[in-house]
């Protein structure tokens, strides 16, 4: 959730009271994909966040795997930045 808040500059479940948020989380609901971002949210990052929010911790990616994916994504973005 922190990653989503940092990238979107908005609290997840913005405008909803804590009780409603807790109820939604207990039913497996995750925040909606933000549409208020200037450059959008890359689908690979959104998919990674969804995997991290999986209810069963055993089905979530490890932090080392997340770090590898983010580094690969960063390198890809840097490569694209060098293109004319």
* Close Cβ partners of 75 (under 8 Å, ≥ 6 residues apart): none
Burial, 16: exposed, middle or buried (Cβ in 10 Å; 0-12, 13-18, 19+)?
A: middle
Query: What CA dihedral angle connects 65, 69, 71 and 74, to 10 degrees?
Result: -160
Q: What is the DSSP letter of 32?
A: P
Give me the domain span that covers residue 26: 2-81
Task: Report the distance separating Cα 16 and Cα 23, nearest Å.
Answer: 11
User: How many structural domains compose the chain?
Assistant: 1
Residue 9 confidence (pLDDT) = 82
Task: Report the distance separating Cα 36 and Cα 20, nearest Å.
Answer: 22
pLDDT in tens, 33-81: 877 665 667 788 889 999 999 989 999 999 999 999 988 888 876 555 5
Q: Where residue 42 sits, what CATH number does that domain have?
A: 1.10.510.10
- State pTM to two decimals: 0.73
Task: Report the distance separating Cα 73 and Cα 27, nearest Å.
Answer: 31
């Amino acid at each position: 959730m922190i990653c989503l808040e940092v990238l979107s500059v908005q609290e997840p479940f913005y405008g909803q009271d804590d009780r409603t948020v807790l109820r939604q989380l207990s039913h497996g609901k995750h925040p909606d994909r933000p549409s208020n971002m200037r450059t959008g949210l890359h689908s690979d990052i959104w998919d990674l966040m969804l995997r991290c929010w999986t209810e069963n911790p055993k089905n979530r990616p490890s932090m080392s795997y997340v770090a590898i994916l983010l580094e690969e994504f960063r390198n890809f973005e840097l490569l694209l930045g060098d293109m004319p």
